[in-house]
Structure 1
Amino acid sequence: MKRSLLIVAILLYFSLAGCVGVYYTALLVLKRSQPSQTWPGYHYALFKQPDFYTGLINADNQPVAEEKVFGGIVSHHFFVEKEIARFFLPLRKQQPKVVVIIGPNHFNAGHNAMLTTQYPYITPWGNLEPDLELSNKLAASGLITVEERPFEKEHSISALVSFVKYTFPDTKLIPIILKKNVSQARLDELVTQLDILLPKDSLVIASVDFSHHSNRVVADFHDEKSLATIQSFDFESLARLEIDSPSSIYATLRFLEKRGAQKTSYFKHLNSATFANNLSSEDVTSYLFAHFIKGKSTTNGAVSVLHFGDMIFNGVVGEMIKNKQDPFQKIAGVEGNFLRGMDAVVANLEGPIAVREQCFSSRPVNFAFSPLVPSLLARNRIGFVNMANNHRLDCGENGVIETQELLTKSHIQFFGNEELGAENYLVKKVADKSLVLLGINTFGMLPEKAQLFLGLIKNLKQRYDYVAVNVHWGVEYNTQPSQEQKDLAHALVDAGADVIIGHHPHVIQPLEIYKEKVIFYSLGNFVSSQNIPATKNGLAAGFIFNDAVKKFYLFPFENSNGSPKLLLYQKTKQFCDHFLKSVTTTEMCSFGL
C-alpha cells in the first residue's frame, strides 16, 4: 500500500515538475531502491521497479499495428506512462534489430553537439544493450561523440529504455542526444549516415515533449501549429515550434522522408491539464504520440499568427527600457514560451523610433521611442509591426525613414504606409501557403482612398491565400465600435479580408463574425503607460489558418506598471465566456470557423 501511494505521489509530482523534475524525482527513488555501490559501465532506466510501468504490465488487448511502422514521436514525460506504453505495445510484432532514440540534451552536457553512449541500460526486464558496431561506425564518421557522463541524468533516453526492452526483448539501442545549437547541415549528415547504416527493419523514434510552462489555451494554440508542421513535413517551420527539441523532430522526419514513411497511422495529442483533469493548471506540458508508415503526407501546413494591439514605449515603459528592463518579460513567461511557436508575432507600433528623445510637431501628443526598441522586439520574437497609424509622422518623413532603418537592422519587418504601394503590405510565406499583412490608417483618409484599398485587397486575395488587415480607426477609449468602423469592416471583408485586427481606441472592443470572417474591432493596448483603468486591459488574438479550418484563440492580459501579464485561469475563463457570448460554438477561449 505504501509503495502504491509513493508511486501515485511521484507521478503527481511529474505533472507539476515538468521535464527536469522527472530526473531529480527519479534520483530520489533510486537512492531508496538500489545499492549505494555504483556500477561502472552501466546506465539506469528512469525507474528499475516494474511497479512504475503499469501501462505495460496491466495492458489488456492492446491492438497490433497493421502496417510496418518505420518511426515515431513519443513523450519522455513519465507522468503519461500509460500513453507511452500505448505507443510502444502495438509495435511488439515488429521486433526490429535496432531502435534509435533521438532526444534533447536537456542539460547541455558534454563536449559535442551530438552524443551517444555505448553503455547498456539496466531495466526491470534486463539490460538493453547498445549496438556497438553501428555506434562505432557513427562515431568514426566524426558526427557523433561517445560520452557517457551526459547520459547519467538524461531522461529523454532513460524514461523510454524500459518500454523498448519490454516491447522488443532482443533489440539493440542507439541513443542520440542533441544540443540546441546543432546545425541543420550536421543533422542532414547524421540522417544520411543513419539511412546508410541502419537495417531496413530499424525503428527511429524522436523523444520529444511539446508546449511547456503555459496554460492549456496557450498549449493548444502552439500545438496546433506544431502538429500541422509535423504532419505536413514542413521542415522550414520546425525551428520556430515551441517544443523541447526541434532538432530531434527534424532528424527523425528527415530519416522517415528518406525511407518513404510520411504517412501517420497513429496520431494522438493531449496535455497534462486534460490528462489529469487539472484544467486550471498554469504549468502545462503537452504531448504527441505518432507512428509513421509507408506513404506520402496528405496534410498541408498551417499559418500561425499571434496579434497584439498598440505598443507605446513612452513614460514608465520608456524608463524601463532605459534601465535595461524588459516590459515583455512577464507576458513572455517561462523561457519566453508564450511568444514562441508562431510564424508571426505582430503588433501596432504607435509612433516612430528616433535617436533623439523628442520630435517637434504641431500635434498635441507626439511620440519618439528609444532606438533600443527594435532589439527589444527582436529578443521577444515580435518580428512584425504595423506602421499605419496616426502617430507615424510624429517625427516627419525623416523619422519614418529612421524608424524603418532601425527596424531593419534588428530584422523586424514592417508594413503600413500613408500611400498605396508595396509598403502597405508584406507577404509571409509558410510552406505552400502565403499570408498578407496589410496596414490601413483611416485618419484623414478620403472616401476615394478607401475605395482604392478595397481594390488592393481584392487583388491581393486573388494572388495569395490569406489576407489579414490591420486597421487604425475608431474613437479613443470607446469600448464599442462606431458605425463607421462596422461599415468599413464589412466592406473590407466583402473585398476579401480573412481577418481584421483593429487598434487605436486603446481599450478592448467586441469581436464580430461577419460572413464567416472575424473582426477584432480593437485589441486594446499591448504595452503602454496609460492610466485609465480600461487601457490596462489588453487582448492577444491568435489564429491558425489551414485548408480545413480557421481557428482563433484569445489571450486576455493586464498591464501593471507598463508590463503586460496573462490573466490566470479563472479571470481568463470569465473574460472569454463574456467576450465570446455571441459565438455559437466555442471551447475554452477558442473557436473555429
Structure 2
Amino acid sequence: MIARLLTIAVLSLIVGGAAYAAPVVCPPGSDNFPPFYDDATLFKNAIASVANVEPSNQRLTGITVPHHLLAADLVALGFRAASGFRYKRIIILSPDHFHKTHKLYATTLHGFDTVLGPVAADTNAVRRLETNSDMIEESCLFDKEHGVRAMLPFLHHYFPEAKIVPVAMSVKARRGDWDRLAEALKPIVDQDTLIVESTDFSHYLPQHDARRFDQQTLNMLAAGSLDGIAALRQPDHADSVGALYIQTRLQRELFGAQPLVVANENSQEHTSDYVERTTSYVVALFGAFGPGFNNPARPKDRINYLAGDVNFGRAMKKILVRDGVADRIVDSVLALTGSRPLIVNLEGVVLPNVPEAIDDMTLAMPEGLAVDMLKRLHVAGVGLANNHAYDLGPSGYAETLRALDEAGIPHFGQGETLALADLDLVGLTDIDTNGSKNTDLLTPALLDRLLHENAARPVAAFVHWGREYKTEPSAREDMLADQMRLRGVSAIVGGHPHVSSEAIVPLAGGDVAEVYSLGNFLFDQNAERSSGSMLELRVFAQGTIFTRLIPLPNYFETGRK
C-alpha cells in the first residue's frame, strides 16, 4: 500500500506530467471500476484522526481537499466538515494528471468499487454533461486517476448514498474553457450537490518558495478574485488552477458562498527528513457562513480576531449599563469568535472617574466598565496607536496603561509589537491627536518596526489611517501599504474611517492581504453613518495565514432597542 502511494506521488510530481506507464482499462459493460487501493487501513486511520472535529453546523456547498494520500488526514478533514448534512450528488473536479483525455475534459458513466464500499455514478447527470461533446468525453482514464480515486473511500464513508460526477480537467484548458465548463455544470448543481475540488497546491518548490506561493493563493481565495485566481501559475500555485477557478466561480454564482481555509500544510510537515522540493495542501470549506456558524477547527489551529474602533464612554456607556444589553452584545460577539482571542482598537482614555464636564470629542471611558467588557469579550490585545489615545495628554495615556496593566490586558501603541502565539501585530498610526489635519506621522523609521528577525513568523500591521467615512484609500495610504508590503508584512488591517471595507484586497499578486478599514466595533454611531466588520485571521504552522471578513451588526443600535 505505502509503496503504491509513493509511486503515485512520484509520478504525479514529474514536471510536465509524463504519462502513467500502465494502460487504463474500462470495465466491461456497465460494471464498476475495480478498487484502486487494496488496503483500507490508511483511510480508516485518517477518518479516525478527525473524529473529534465537529462538522459544520451550516450546510457546505463545496470543499477543497488534496489528493496526495501523504496528507490523507486533510482529505478526511474536508469530508468530515461537510458530513453534518446529506447530499444526493457529489461533483469531483480533478486534474488529468497523466494527460489521458483527448478533449479538454473527461467524465464517466461507470461507478467505482473501493476498499470501503461502492460509489455509484450519477448517470443522468453525467449524460447531461456529456451532451457538451465538443469539450467533454466519456473516458477510461479514471481507472488510474488518483485525483478522483483518492476521494472515493472517504466519499463512501461519509456519504454512502451519494452518487458522483467525476470530471478530469486537461492542463490544456484555459480561462475561456473553464468558463464553458462552469456553465455546463450549472444545470446539474442544486442544493443537494456538494462540489469537491481535488487539488494539490504548490509543486516542486523549496519550502520558502512554497510558502510564498501558498500565501498568494490563500489571499486570492480570501479576496474571491477570479481574475487573481486565473493569473496563478500551474503547478507553482496549484496542480489544477482551473479546478480552483471553477469551484470559486460556481460557489459565488450559485450559492453566494465564500471560502474558509481550515488547513494549509506542506509535505515537509509530514516527515522528519529534509525535503528539497515540496508539495502543499489546502483544505477549504465553501458556504454562506452566517450567525451561529461553529467554524470547524483542529486544536492546533491558531485563530485570532481583529475588530475596529471601541469606546466605552459617551452614549455607549449609557447603552451598556442598561439591564441585559451588555450580556446580549457579549453573547453575540462570542458566538462569532468562539471565545478565541480578540484584538481591538481602543479609542480614548481609560480613567477611574470620568469628569462630567469633558467635551464630546474628548473620548474617555470609566475603568470599571471598560475592563469588565474587555475581559468578557476575551480581548487579548488593545491597540493604542490611534488619534484618541492621547486625548488627555501623556498623563491620560499613562492612566490607560496603568488600568490595562492592572487588569492583565496586553496593549500596544505606536511602533510597538503585540506578540500572539504565532503572529506579531505591530501598531501604527498616521494620524496625530484628535482634530489634527496631519496624516504624516508614519516615517520610514516607524515602518521599519515591521521588520522582525524571525522571517517564518507572520507580521501584521494594525494601522490607523485615512479619513473618516471614506471607504477608499488615498494615494498616501496606497503608498504606505506598498512600503509595508516591502517590509514583509503578511496582512495590513486598518481603522479610523468608522466605515468598513467590503472586501479583502490582495496586493502585489497576492503577497499581502489588505483590509483598508474594519470600521466600528463598539462605538456610539448609528448604522446610517457607520459600519463594522471583524477579521478572522488563521495562522498555519508553515507561517501562512488566511483571512476572512465577517460583517458585524451595529451594536450601538442593537443596545438601544
TM-score w.r.t. structure 2 length? 0.49
Instruction: Tell me: higher relative CO, structure 1 or 2? Use CA pairs within 8 A at least 6 residues apart.
Output: 2
TM-score w.r.t. structure 1 length? 0.47
